[in-house]
Amino acid sequence: MDVGVRLQSIRKLKGLSQRELAKRAGVTNSTISMIEKNSVSPSISSLKKVLAGIPMSLVEFFSLDVEQDSNTQVVYKANELIDISDGAVTMKLVGKAHPSRAIAFLSETYPPGADTGNEMLNHEGEEAGMLIEGRLELVVGSESYILEKGDSYYFESSKPHRFRNPYDEPAKLISATTPANF
């Protein structure tokens, strides 16, 4: 979360000097220096100007993750998933030990009557899933769908959405969301 260090590593990765980047970006070299030393917190406009000289967007800049080469666990037995259940809905997360989680991969079970409630729109990402057992109702935006075994979905997480099981047998769903909000 260190803007200075982050900028410096990107700049060096691109093989640019402070002055070179400054020239391309249309700022002075001292600006770059001070930003990298965290002696100032740049304004959005000037950081944007600086990044334009790389070039790189603000999103890219902030989402750049400092790499980590963990030798983490790969396989998780059925009983090793971490339970993040919410109300009646059972949700089990794959990859508990994973550091830089990009996907939230879940096994979800909706007992009869279960409902996620009207989730607020979640700003980022996309999600997909497939129904493994039972039937389930999916509402995305103003549309309502009935999922049956083998059916799947894919939508932007930013749209308001909701899962509901109005039937009398449990529904089992496997889903993936990116980026992970857990």
CA 156 to chain centre: 12
To which H or E segment does residue 24 belong?
A: helix 18-25
Best CA proximity match to 167, nearest among 144, 138, 135: 135
Amino acid found at 18: Q
> Smallest distance from the beta carbon of 120 to DNA, in angstroms?
19
Among 112, 121, 166, 169, binds its own copies (CB under 8 A): 121
**One symbol per residue from 58 to 97: x for binding its own copies (CB under 8 A), - otherwise; what is it?**
xxx-xxxx--x-x-xxxxxxx--x------------xx--
Amino acid found at 173: L
Q: Does 156 bind its own copies (CB under 8 A)?
A: yes
Which does residue 132 touch among its own copies, DNA, none (CB within 5 to 8 A, set by kind)? its own copies
**One symbol per residue from 39 to 78: x for binding DNA (CB under 7 A), - otherwise; what is it?**
xxxxx-xxx-------------------------------
The pair of three-digit structure tokens given for residue 137, joined into one six-digit string: 């109702």
- Are 96 and 104 contacting, i.e. CB atoms less than 8 angstroms apart? no
Q: Does 51 bind its own copies (CB under 8 A)?
A: no
